Amino acid sequence: MSSNDDGHFSYFAFGSNMLKQRLQFKNPSATFYSTGRLKDYELKFGYWRVGVTSAWKGAAATIEYCPGAEVWGVIWTMSNSNLSSLDNQEGVQRGIYSPLEVSVETEHGPILCRTYQMNNLIVDLPSPQYKKVVCLGAEENGLPTEYLNKLKSIETNGYSGPSLLDQLKI
């Protein structure tokens, strides 16, 4: 884990957790550190197994190794006391995501961060609500315009009912 001596760790968010309000919903210690770029990975959306549903009513974001690609996101500094709540949110114990340590490029130099990669990815489309939260997080934190436009162009599944977005009161 990318923990430092003061009881905090760095977390690289590339999906809905880029939005401060979403991340702090269950992880109140999260503090913005920087935006960053993860080289040799690409952003994907999917499920971890067939027939599963999500609170977002669509596929969730993950990263997949892909030489030459890049994923932009947000680096948060978090208290070690929120490590278990973050793991729970990402479904680590249920086998949905696995923690991964990655080196993220920032304007301050490379930062070693904890992030999460979906297990057994089955590619599918995110809901419009999930995509909205991802794009809001990218906008809120000033990710590059070119990358934001790429996020905005992601196709969705067209779902229009209630979702986790309703709990965030955005």
**In contact, 129 and 135? CB cutoff 8 Å:** no
Count how many Cα atoms sit within 13 Å of the Cα of residue 107 in the half-sphere of its side chain.
5
Q: Is 156 helix (H, G, I), strand (E, B) or coil?
A: coil
3-state secondary structure 87-123: HHHCCCCCCCEEEEEEEEECCCCCEEEEEEEECCCEE
Q: Please give the positions annotated as active site.
A: 90
Q: CA-based angle 61:126:62, to the nearest 5?
A: 10
